[in-house]
Structure 1
Amino acid sequence: MERDTADGGGQRLDRRTYLAAVGASAAGLSGCLVRGEDSRGLEGRIVVDGSNTLLPHGAAVAEEFQWRNNRVRVPVRGSGTGAGFQRFCAGDTDVQNASRAILDDEVALCGSNGIDYVELEAALDGIAIWVHPENHWCDTLTVDELNRLWRSGSDVETWGDLRAEWADEPFGDEEIDLYGRDSASGTFDYFTQAINGEYGNIRSDYSASADTNVIVRGVRGNRHALGFGGAGYFYENEEELQLVAVDDDNGGVVPTRDTIESGEYTPLSRPMYVYLAVPELRRPEFRAYAEFFFEEIDEDADREDVDPGETLTWTQWAARKVGFYAVPDATVEESRERLQAAIESVESNESPTASGEGDR
């Protein structure tokens, strides 16, 4: 069946597009598709929740799967990584999108409720640091400077406190206004761990938000400001923000497709995950959905973000389509093998150990 892309084919579907597609309430894609095909006779409902950051990726995969299997409904929500794990570990959802790996207390919660899961890497992201465009002199920060700025108990108040020579720059002697994600966010967890060495270690006097677009607006409207968020949000607003390179003893690197997919952008490149409830793999529609992530894209896929001669799976394609970055082919193969092992365990009526626990 030829896909009609007149209403959006060939154009990059950024985070805003997908967030709009799933509605202001993040109610998801369930029931909004009126075209497509029933290619395999599958039907049912698959409930997805979790990371607000990863929501557009989940929505992109769900839309493509539903287009090919239009009797399957896949509502996708983005209540946050932490909130999503509470639902997933209670058995209320089938799929958990996560912008950081599952935590020990969440592993225990899943265990206490008898929820077996398999952890799969779905996409890569970079957490970007940005400032107001009038701040032309803060173009690089070291990891140590970011730590001194953001850690709990920080005594850094002005730009001059952060780097002495900046006190003589325009507004360099004025107080820095900080914007970042709130504590319910996986982005918050990853940033605090990577920069401050401990989940939740952060100064209390910053403007915290569950919505990265609020952080973007805060910084672009305040020349004294600095914020952090997913790199894709910067590139959607790059004319209104100034990107800051991160120097991890490498002279300073900015997040781009090349530096994130190669692992050069450290320590703020991160994998993002999909957790699947293993018992649900008994359902044909859920198994097909899980396998769809790691199948090669077909001729109907928009190839704007596919390099010549490159072969991508749907999870890699969706990552680039909505402003994330593709996991390496080797990681795709590892995830595919891990998923197949989970499927075989269900078929043999075995109860597998929650995949991924032994790897950390």
Structure 2
Amino acid sequence: MTEGNFVDYVKIYVASGKGGKGSSHLHREKFIEKGGPDGGDGGRGGHVIIRGNESLWTLHHLRFQRHIKAGHGGDGGSSRSTGSDGEDRFIDVPLGTVVKDKETGELLFEITENGEEKILAKGGKGGLGNWHFRSSTNQTPRYAQPGMPPQEVDIILELKVLADVGLVGFPNAGKSTLLSVLTSAKPKIGDYPFTTLKPNLGIVEYRDFKSFVIADIPGIIEGAAEGKGLGHYFLRHIERNSTLLFLIPADADDIKKEYDILLDELRRYNPEMLDKDRLIAISKCDMLDDELKAELKEQLDKEFDGLPYIFISSVAQQGLTELKDKLWQMLN
């Protein structure tokens, strides 16, 4: 899938179907001059239903569907026949989709399981036919109920990527390179900031046919929590990851400072992010000789104070097995 096809935010207007009106028909037949009321009920209007679909990865298929409407219920008929129900409309979305009310910003619900269905707009109830209104004092009611009106709502669909591990780091930290080495994903890689503009997912194959999903989240910059750069679009994808892998290059001016900035951006966006398990990977360590690595290790032991970290190199394939072992241990 190309980056242009990754859509994680759409606005849609949805409307259910209105209920059919009840019938006020009076029974007429040869030799039965004054038959009683036999008007049937109107049919229910169609629902608009959101449904989880595990084979979808993006909201791209909804990008140009601005209006989605369900079918109207049929009107009641004679001989107490009920009108047909309106056709339901299903909106298939990838797992991890959040549904919000566009006007209020209120979170309505989220879809996290395959086949999970939630009614977004209920179809209007069908009106009752005059059969229901007969009584001892009014044996031929000539009125029936109209159908209930449809529900209309403007919604926002927002995709938050579902992955076990989220890769967090500044632009150009080597996240895409690491993803391409650990998985069969083929993210765009370049030596300039913001090569990755959308999250990339890859499946890491582990021992004994086990696997876990890792997401390369686009680079975070200082001020991302306030929406600087594409901050909010990036940060929301990290909310669903159970473990965060911070990637900081070994040639960074100050490794601890970079980590603190990244952590602060996550905290300002959503303080709950700090409850997740964290692992720091010092990337590009093939640039370090043994002496430099020992010096850096001594410094990091003091600065990180018990926080787990690991030296890796995607290009030289160093430390990757240990990294997978550590991540698997954290996930389980």
| TM-score between both structures, scaled by the size of structure 1 | 0.21
Q: Which has the higher strand share?
A: 2
Please say which structure displays the higher CA radius of gyration.
2
Q: Which has the higher helix share?
A: 1
| TM-score between both structures, scaled by the size of structure 2 | 0.23
